[in-house]
Structure 1
Amino acid sequence: MPSPLGASPLAQRDFRLLFGGSSISAIGDQFTLVALPWLVLKLTGSPAALGLVLATMALPRAAFMLIGGAVVDRLSPRRVLLAARGVNALLVSLLAALVLGGAIQMWLVYALALGIGLATAFAYPAGSAILPQLVPPTQLRAANALFMAMRQLSMLVGPALAGLLISTGAHGVHVGVADATGLGLAFAIDALSFVFSLVSLVLIRVHGDHHPRPRDGGVLANVGAGIRAVWADLPLRAFVLYAAVVSVFVGGPIQVGLPMLANTRLDLGATALGILMTANGGGMLVGSMLSGLAAKLVRNRLGLMVLGIDSVAGLVLAALAFDHSTLTGAALLATTGMLGGIAQVTIVSWIQQRVAPEMMGRTMSLLMFTFMGLGPLSAAVAGSLLKLISLPTLFAGAGLALTAIALSCMVSPALRSIGTPLRVPDAA
């Protein structure tokens, strides 16, 4: 993979293909993320049904994430990603056809949501594992920053376009579904966006496709080998455990608390929630751009940088307990987004440089599981806690917990040593 030191990842043909196809697909995904909840509410009018549909997508995604990582390592990130996105394209196309044809029913929505969740369980680890095969290690941080920036831009642009399309495409009622034409077109645009991603993946050439690793043992044995390999790497093990603790004590409460904050305490209602999420996404975009400068300043002390960022972010989140203004809340979330963007790009790049290619899918799937598996459980607990404690108490507790966890972990030699690239021993 010849490339001058410090050159842009965009100088690599295969990276350009992946980035271009993924960018179009990411914008298309936002159409489904807006249209699917709207469809459920139009069909049922029930927030409980919406929660069940989202759970139907999230639970199988979390349950099969580790298996997805093992399959990626047994086959090829490109091949698994191609298959997973192909399945997603078929399911979203079917959803668009059912809505436009007036044949959509809730049992079909549940079935399609289940299929989409299963497909993404394989797509997520494959997407993270393919990047180190396309660019040199020196360009991984810049490549991850570009992808994070692209995702945040899609979250800024996509929902607005989707909302406009759904509202302008509203033409009467089809089998109890208002706005059916706009909803169907939104799903159709997402399905079309998958075509660009699939074509780019077909054109990409990856060394691992032609030199596959021997498949030792079954898939479950490979999952166990991946967990053992992460456990044997002390700094990596420490970070995964740290991420799991943060997800339990902080991720769930914030996921539940922000909608409640917008609904009960802010001045713009549902619009306030959109502003808060947009501010957070904008902050992450800025953070991804600053990650290179931050990595140069701290050099090999990435662990201390992440812990320092989290200790500050916890105090900012705790300040939401006193928030009664949409503008103030947006400023606070933009700050946490910027801090999170810096930390996420640098730590993911470190992991991709540290882990051997044949273990990449399993390692990334384990890291994702700590958020996507534990996060929904934590959110359910946080929702129940709000029956016993106030919303300000929830925010203050979550934010101060993050600060306390980060500060206490600064004495950990394993977490402090994060930053030095090292390949883990080969494992079956």
Structure 2
Amino acid sequence: MTTTGIRTAPPTGKPAHRDGNVLRWLSAYTASMIGDSVYFVALSWAAARSGSPAQAGLVLAVGSVPRAVLMLGGGVIADRFGPRRVVIGSDAVRCAVILAVAVLLFVTTPGSWLLVLVALVFGAVDALFLPSVGALPPRITAPGQLGRVQGMRGFAQRVATVAAAPVGGLAVAVGGPAAGFGVAGVLFAVSLALLMAVRVREPAPDEQAGTSETARRQLVGGLRYIRGHRVLAPLLLVAAVMELGFAGPANIGVVLLADERGWGAAGMAWTVGGFGVGAGAAALLLAVRGRVARAGAVQAWGVVAGSVALAAIGFAPSVGAAAVAGLCVGLCTGLGGALIGALVQTVTAPAYLGRVTSVATLFTVGIAPMTYPVVGAAIGAWGVEPVFAASAAVSAAGGVIGLCSRALRHAELPH
């Protein structure tokens, strides 16, 4: 056992970006992400055509409930039965459900009730899939490659974001929601086939979660493990606080900013595009370098710098200035976020990887989106500038928390 709590995977003689096993996992993850986005496009279009605007909003929102409620339980299941088994099983269920919906939509026109049911099932299965797929990297590569893997993962996220919109839009435009669900199902099938080909290092007996314990005791044990960890506790707090301040302005805030300033959809696209380019560049940098010295301190300073740039977007006098600020946000928070992910997987004992990943994911996909209506209402009441400034201050507080933790400041990625 190494000092980081992660055993070295069997050496392949290749860095992660040349390791076929890692590339299969990355390809599966990318296909799944594109499938997620195409599914959402198809669901949105089907919901808009099957009912009132209020019903469409309900369909789109309902899937987030089981995802948030069950996410921590998904981490327990990943640790209890192994992330590979859980990720393959959950991906198979997603594939079957979405393809079945595609067939139903092709032969009939069901009401909103079916779409609500699909969203609930998909959200529940996501609560299993996300912690498991995030917990796999330490089992498929050596500790010294985790930084590079997180960079590759971040870059894949940007590629998926760019590719998903035209793929989903074209599928729905050509064949309606049925075609959109069909394309999403095929992408999930591709992801499943690739995941089944990924070789995973079997855990040692001391790395396995105790199957004799109840699920509740395992969950409580995981939360206690996080709370008592000198690096992990402040690191997850940094990530959570950063997301709470960042998510609202970066999503709904940019839309309202462009509308208020009269920049239109093009202005919003340039600002969001700047963020995407910056985040992609930061992820690519980490993927190429593989390691950043003083990673704990760098990620905290990245959060602080990215928060300052986030505030600058709210005060930008032109589209160009907002796009440049968005580029800075992407560079800083993209690097900080990738380092947070690499550090989490480096310092977490293998027996707790699923539960720790579920806690980290909960804030990203479960709790942070709940700030969207709050930010929207606040901008409506007080305007863009004060809300962006206040949100950036919250996000920056996360970086300050990291800088105040001596253990986290001195945390390093393994060589």
TM-score if structure 1 supplies the norm length?
0.86
Write the deviation string for residues 14-56 of structure 1: whole angstroms up to 9, x where unpaired: 323322333333333332232222322233351x444422321
Contact 1:266 1:325 in 2 (8 A): no
Partners in 2 of 1:122 and 1:346 — Cα distance? 24
Partners in 2 of 1:109 and 1:274 — Cα distance? 29
**CA deviation after TM superposition for structure 1 residue 325, in Å:** 4.0
Check if 1:242 corresponds to 2:248: no
Check if 1:3 corresponds to 2:11: yes
**CA deviation after TM superposition for structure 1 residue 90, in Å:** 1.8
**CA deviation after TM superposition for structure 1 residue 250, in Å:** 3.4
Check if 1:89 corresponds to 2:98: no
Check if 1:188 corresponds to 2:194: no
The number of residue pairs the alignment matches comes to 404
The 5 Å alignment of 1:315-354 reads 315-323=308-316, 325-354=318-347
Residues 276 and 74 of structure 1, relative CA distance in 2, 3 Å threshold: same
Partners in 2 of 1:378 and 1:395 — Cα distance? 13
Partners in 2 of 1:295 and 1:256 — Cα distance? 33
Of stretches 405-414 and 49-58 in structure 1, the one that deviates more from structure 2 is 405-414
Partners in 1 of 2:186 and 2:235 — Cα distance? 38
**CA deviation after TM superposition for structure 1 residue 149, in Å:** 1.2
**CA deviation after TM superposition for structure 1 residue 336, in Å:** 1.1
Contact 1:267 1:324 in 2 (8 A): no
Residues 326 and 266 of structure 1, relative CA distance in 2, 3 Å threshold: farther
- 1:139 maps to what in 2? 145
Residues 133 and 412 of structure 1, relative CA distance in 2, 3 Å threshold: closer
**CA deviation after TM superposition for structure 1 residue 158, in Å:** 2.0
Of stretches 363-372 and 74-83 in structure 1, the one that deviates more from structure 2 is 363-372
Partners in 2 of 1:135 and 1:293 — Cα distance? 16
Write the deviation string for residues 403-428 of structure 1: whole angstroms up to 9, x where unpaired: 3553465333243233366xxxxxxx
Check if 1:230 corresponds to 2:236: no
Partners in 2 of 1:318 and 1:265 — Cα distance? 16
Q: Equivalent of 2:212, from 216, 233, 239? A: 216
- 2:304 maps to what in 1? 311
- 1:203 maps to what in 2? 197
Partners in 2 of 1:207 and 1:295 — Cα distance? 21
Of stretches 35-44 and 406-415 in structure 1, the one that deviates more from structure 2 is 406-415
- 1:282 maps to what in 2? 277
**CA deviation after TM superposition for structure 1 residue 360, in Å:** 0.5
Residues 262 and 98 of structure 1, relative CA distance in 2, 3 Å threshold: farther
- 1:264 maps to what in 2? 260
**CA deviation after TM superposition for structure 1 residue 85, in Å:** 0.9
Check if 1:30 corresponds to 2:40: no
Of stretches 33-42 and 141-150 in structure 1, the one that deviates more from structure 2 is 33-42
Partners in 2 of 1:82 and 1:209 — Cα distance? 18
Of stretches 340-349 and 400-409 in structure 1, the one that deviates more from structure 2 is 400-409
- 1:291 maps to what in 2? 286
**CA deviation after TM superposition for structure 1 residue 216, in Å:** 2.8
Contact 1:30 1:162 in 2 (8 A): yes
Partners in 1 of 2:341 and 2:55 — Cα distance? 35
Contact 1:235 1:417 in 2 (8 A): no
Contact 1:410 1:416 in 2 (8 A): yes
Contact 1:295 1:346 in 2 (8 A): no
**CA deviation after TM superposition for structure 1 residue 382, in Å:** 2.4
Q: Equivalent of 2:392, from 399, 402, 405? A: 399
SS at match of 1:204: coil
- 1:44 maps to what in 2? 51
Residues 326 and 216 of structure 1, relative CA distance in 2, 3 Å threshold: farther
Check if 1:382 corresponds to 2:379: no
**CA deviation after TM superposition for structure 1 residue 352, in Å:** 1.0
* Paired amino acid for 2:171: L
Partners in 1 of 2:197 and 2:78 — Cα distance? 19
Contact 1:247 1:371 in 2 (8 A): yes
Write the deviation string for residues 60-112 of structure 1: whole angstroms up to 9, x where unpaired: 11111110001000001111001111111122112222322232321111110
Residues 133 and 71 of structure 1, relative CA distance in 2, 3 Å threshold: same
Write the deviation string for residues 243-275 of structure 1: whole angstroms up to 9, x where unpaired: 222333333344331222233334233x54444
Check if 1:251 corresponds to 2:257: no
Contact 1:251 1:375 in 2 (8 A): yes
Partners in 2 of 1:129 and 1:384 — Cα distance? 36
Partners in 1 of 2:184 and 2:32 — Cα distance? 7
* Paired amino acid for 2:200: V
Contact 1:14 1:204 in 2 (8 A): yes
- 2:6 maps to what in 1? none
Contact 2:297 2:402 in 1 (8 A): no
- 1:172 maps to what in 2? none
Residues 56 and 206 of structure 1, relative CA distance in 2, 3 Å threshold: same
Q: Which runs of 5+ in 2 are unaligned?
A: 1-8
- 1:173 maps to what in 2? none
Q: Equivalent of 2:24, from 10, 17, 21? A: 17
SS at match of 1:64: helix
Q: Equivalent of 2:104, from 73, 98, 109? A: 98
Of stretches 26-35 and 219-228 in structure 1, the one that deviates more from structure 2 is 26-35
Residues 41 and 199 of structure 1, relative CA distance in 2, 3 Å threshold: same
* Paired amino acid for 2:23: R
Residues 60 and 219 of structure 1, relative CA distance in 2, 3 Å threshold: same
Of stretches 119-128 and 381-390 in structure 1, the one that deviates more from structure 2 is 381-390
Q: Percent identity?
A: 25
* Paired amino acid for 2:195: L
Of stretches 399-408 and 32-41 in structure 1, the one that deviates more from structure 2 is 399-408
SS at match of 1:216: coil
